[in-house]
């Protein structure tokens, strides 16, 4: 029998990430809590899954041809997934990022062969200098290029419906009662939710949002309130747009978490569980803490942790940076 951990290339190593029980940090939560730890993907994040799916679907549809250029706006992790796929498949890659992203993310993307364009955070999404607009413009200027646009590309949701959702269902023997995850493009929560709710409609789906993002209010009122939008520090969750991948009908509740709490809980997770996680993973667990009164001892919760702490060594795991933000005394 072939050893399934022998691969022809790095792309084949994407997916089948472990489910790890949370112990010390979850002592005050009246339910069993398990972490779906996505930094075991080769690009150290959940985004490897949808990066591969978007490229494969584009190839099938003839939108991406040999020798082509992939152009994407990213907060870093999707760019990393695309960089891995581009390296193996022989494509060029240009990533546009906002200037709030960590230096580590930019340096890693460059190391992986991507060309990086850094754009200002403090501009509207439709401003010509926003990282959305720059990616869109480059895709029109560069011949034989493909702009996946992860926010509205439904291959994003499909990747998680086909892989992440089934993995979680099997790993919990179908006993999962709650799924919680930070929401950015929406592909992870929507794909997993679609699969799990088809299996058991009673499973609760909780999304974690940032203060400064539009998701929670839009979910509760149907109003896109521009007054909700302001700059925040947490990376990878929340948006100032409504991506098509966010299926609000499948999400039972959004919980907002502060920048400070997300950062402090990420650090706590490293000390208590040995899990060196990204910023939004701290936000996800803090969201669960804030909702613990909704849980009972027979519940089985799965929290999905997006990425690895190596992306945030200069920020969340740097005492000076934390002090500058007022997060540490």
Q: Mind listing the pLDDT tens digit for each residue in 277-301?
A: 999 999 999 999 999 999 999 999 9
Among 2, 4, 36, 47, the active-site one is: 47
Q: 184 phi and psi, to 5 degrees?
A: -120, -90
CA 273, CA 255: separation in Å to the nearest integer?
23
Task: Name the DSSP class of 251.
Answer: -
**210 and 193 in one domain?**
yes
State the DSSP string of 89-127.
HT-EEEEEEETTS-HHHHHHHHHTT-EEEEE-SSS-TTS
Contact 185, 165 (CB under 8 A): no
**60 and 33 in one domain?**
no
**pLDDT at position 169 over 60:** yes
- The CB density around residue 97, as the number of other CB atoms within 10 Å, is 25
Name the domain boundary from 146, 173, 207. 146
Alpha-carbon dihedral 151, 156, 161, 166, rounded to 10 degrees: -120
- The answer to whether residue 329 is domain-embedded is no
**182 and 319 in one domain?**
yes
The 10s digit of each residue's pLDDT in 217-248 is: 999 999 999 989 998 999 889 998 999 999 99
Average pLDDT over all residues of the chain: 95
**71 and 21 in one domain?**
no
CA 208, CA 268: separation in Å to the nearest integer?
18
| End-to-end C-alpha distance for the chain, whole angstroms | 56
Query: Does residue 47 carry a catalytic annotation?
Result: yes
Q: In this predicted structure, what is the pLDDT of residue 18?
A: 98
Task: Give the global pTM.
Answer: 0.94
* Number of compact structural domains in the chain: 2
**296 and 179 in one domain?**
yes
State how far the alpha carbon of 327 is from the alpha carbons of 260, 263, 289, in Å. 6, 8, 19
For 167, the enclosing helix (H) or strand (E) is: helix 165-171
- The answer to whether residue 3 is domain-embedded is no
> Looking at residue 24, which CATH number applies to its domain?
3.40.50.1100
Name the domain boundary from 146, 174, 196. 146
Q: What is the largest CA-CA distance in the chain?
A: 59
Which residue segment(s) compose the domain that 23 sits in?
Answer: 10-40+163-324
- The answer to whether residue 194 is domain-embedded is yes
- The answer to whether residue 122 is domain-embedded is yes
Contact 11, 88 (CB under 8 A): yes
**190 and 140 in one domain?**
no
**282 and 179 in one domain?**
yes
- The answer to whether residue 271 is domain-embedded is yes
Work out whether strand 32-37 and strand 19-21 pair parallel, antiparallel, or are unpaired: antiparallel
Angle between helices 279-290 and 259-273 (to 10 degrees): 100
**178 and 138 in one domain?**
no
**pLDDT at position 49 over 50:** yes
Q: In this predicted structure, what is the pLDDT of residue 100?
A: 81
Closest Cα to residue 139, out of 84, 98, 185, 93? 93
The 10s digit of each residue's pLDDT in 107-164 is: 999 999 999 999 998 888 889 999 999 999 999 999 999 999 999 999 999 999 999 9
Angle between helices 77-89 and 47-60 (to 10 degrees): 50
């Amino acid at each position: 029998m072939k050893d399934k951990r022998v691969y022809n290339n790095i792309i084949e190593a994407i997916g089948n990430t472990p489910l790890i029980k949370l112990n010390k940090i979850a002592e005050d939560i009246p339910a069993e809590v398990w972490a779906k730890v996505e930094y075991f993907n080769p690009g150290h994040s959940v985004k490897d899954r949808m990066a591969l799916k978007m490229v494969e679907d584009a190839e099938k549809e003839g939108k991406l041809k040999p020798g082509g250029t992939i152009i994407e706006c990213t907060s870093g992790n999707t760019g990393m997934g695309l960089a891995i796929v581009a390296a193996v498949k022989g494509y060029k890659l240009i990533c546009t990022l906002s200037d709030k992203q960590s230096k580590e993310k930019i340096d890693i993307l460059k190391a992986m062969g991507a060309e990086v364009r850094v754009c200002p955070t403090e501009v509207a999404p439709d401003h010509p200098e926003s990282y959305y607009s720059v990616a869109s413009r480059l895709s029109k200027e560069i011949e034989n290029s493909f702009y996946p646009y992860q926010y509205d590309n439904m291959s994003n949701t499909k990747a998680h419906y086909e892989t992440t959702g089934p993995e979680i269902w099997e790993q919990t023997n179908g006993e999962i009662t709650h799924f919680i995850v930070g929401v950015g493009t929406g592909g992870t929560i929507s794909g997993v939710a679609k699969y799990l709710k088809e299996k058991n409609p009673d499973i609760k789906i909780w999304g974690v949002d940032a203060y400064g993002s539009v998701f929670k209010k839009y979910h509760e009122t149907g109003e896109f309130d521009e007054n909700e939008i302001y700059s925040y520090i947490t990376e990878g969750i929340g948006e100032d747009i409504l991506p098509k991948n966010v299926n609000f009908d499948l999400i039972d509740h959004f919980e907002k978490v502060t920048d400070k709490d997300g950062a402090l809980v990420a650090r706590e997770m490293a000390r208590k569980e040995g899990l060196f996680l990204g910023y939004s993973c701290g936000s996800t667990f803090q969201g669960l803490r804030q909702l613990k009164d909704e849980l009972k001892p027979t519940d089985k919760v799965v929290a999905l942790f997006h990425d690895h702490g190596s992306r945030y060594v200069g920020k969340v795991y740097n005492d000076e940076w934390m002090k500058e933000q007022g997060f540490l005394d």
